[in-house]
Amino acid sequence: MSRDDKIVDYLRENGCDCRFVKVEHLNELREEIESRRRSGLIDEVFYQNELSGLRYKKPIGFSPRSIVVIAVPQPSMRVMFHWQGKAYPTIVPPTYADWLKVRRFAQSLLKESAKAEKWKFVKCLLPLKTLAAHSGLAMYGRNNISYIPKYGSFHRLVAFFTDYPCETDQWQEPSMLPLCVTCQACIIACPTGAISGERFLLRAERCLTYFNEMPAEKPFPAWINPSWHRNIIGCMRCQEACPYDKGVISWAVDRCSFSEGETEYLLKGNYSGDAKGRVERKLKRAGLDISFFPRNLAVLLIKD
């Protein structure tokens, strides 16, 4: 058994999975994203908002030999809001909450699996779905979400530069989930037309998630029907329809509940004082930011 296999097996024993690629593939990662931008497949505004902060350079003072990308299973979060005598359950999709906790957990597993050699693992800012697909860790769905065995799209990706010299470079061409060739489930489920049968790449600039991740001072475009909103953040319609998520779509944990007073406070939109700190801490537990409010909450509670 190679050292690579031992590390991979150790992470699998702890519920995760990982792959290694040579650090020399950094330029290929960058070129793949930039070529889509140049060809117009990536909307320029979306690129500036979401992708311009990626970093394809090796960290200063460190000479990595490999990049390791890890998939950590993660459930969605149930968040309850109480308002006008009613309880409103909402969902926070996987990948919003516990980012730092997940990264530290993955990093600790790597260090434990290779502690005899004392390899270093340094966080990196790379296009994680693209990296995971090229490593063979994940496959793309037609909705452009990454999928892994057993947990489907219910996982979080993290990646690290490392001086560990991987024995097998697992860089490969990305693969699409087999059923996506004929399945139309996510195309039919998407209310905004972001998923198209005409091209594989998601029209991210039309994705509902893209708009409800913007700060609340930016109103939803007029073409977005308020009835399309069902989650406090994200969307999940395509995941709910996807056959590959059938076994995990109901995997959710109760994270927090907001009282009538707290809900009313969030709907007012004028945040200050001690109440702000208390509410912000509560929101953070569910992977939410107060900058999304009151807009994202109002569209769920106020229908007229």
- Output the pLDDT for position 207: 94
Q: Three-state SS for 72?
A: strand
Look up tokens 């959710």; give the residue.
Answer: 252
Host domain of residue 200: 3-301
- What is the CA 93 to chain-centroid distance, rounded? 9
CA-closest candidate to residue 18, choices 111, 132, 102, 118: 132
- Output the pLDDT for position 304: 45
Look up tokens 């912000």; give the residue.
Answer: 280
* Helix (H) / strand (E) containing 240: helix 237-241
- Output the pLDDT for position 116: 65
User: How many whole angstroms separate alpha carbon 134 and alpha carbon 122?
Assistant: 20
- Output the pLDDT for position 236: 94
User: How many whole angstroms separate alpha carbon 287 and alpha carbon 98?
Assistant: 7
pLDDT tens for the chain, 304 residues long, are 577 788 999 999 999 999 999 999 999 999 999 999 999 988 898 899 889 999 999 988 889 999 999 999 999 999 999 999 999 999 999 999 999 999 999 999 999 988 767 889 999 999 999 999 999 999 999 999 999 999 999 999 999 999 998 888 999 999 999 999 999 999 999 999 999 877 778 898 999 999 999 999 999 999 999 999 999 999 999 999 999 999 999 999 999 999 999 999 999 988 988 889 999 999 999 999 999 999 999 999 976 4
**301 Cβ neighbours under 8 A, 6+ residues apart:** 81, 83, 88, 263, 267
- What is the CA 230 to chain-centroid distance, rounded? 18
- Longest CA–CA span in the chain (Å) reads 63
User: How many whole angstroms separate alpha carbon 9 and alpha carbon 286?
Assistant: 31
242: buried, middle or exposed (CB in 10 Å: 19+, 13-18, 0-12)?
A: buried
C-beta neighbour count of 103 within 10 angstroms: 17
Residue 252 identity (one-letter amino acid): A
Q: Does residue 226 have a cis bond before it (omega within 30 degrees)?
A: no
Report if pTM > 0.85. Answer: yes
Q: What share of the chain is helix, strand, coil (3-state, %, to 5)?
A: 40, 20, 45
**Domains identified in the chain, total number:** 1
User: How many whole angstroms separate alpha carbon 193 and alpha carbon 186?
Assistant: 10
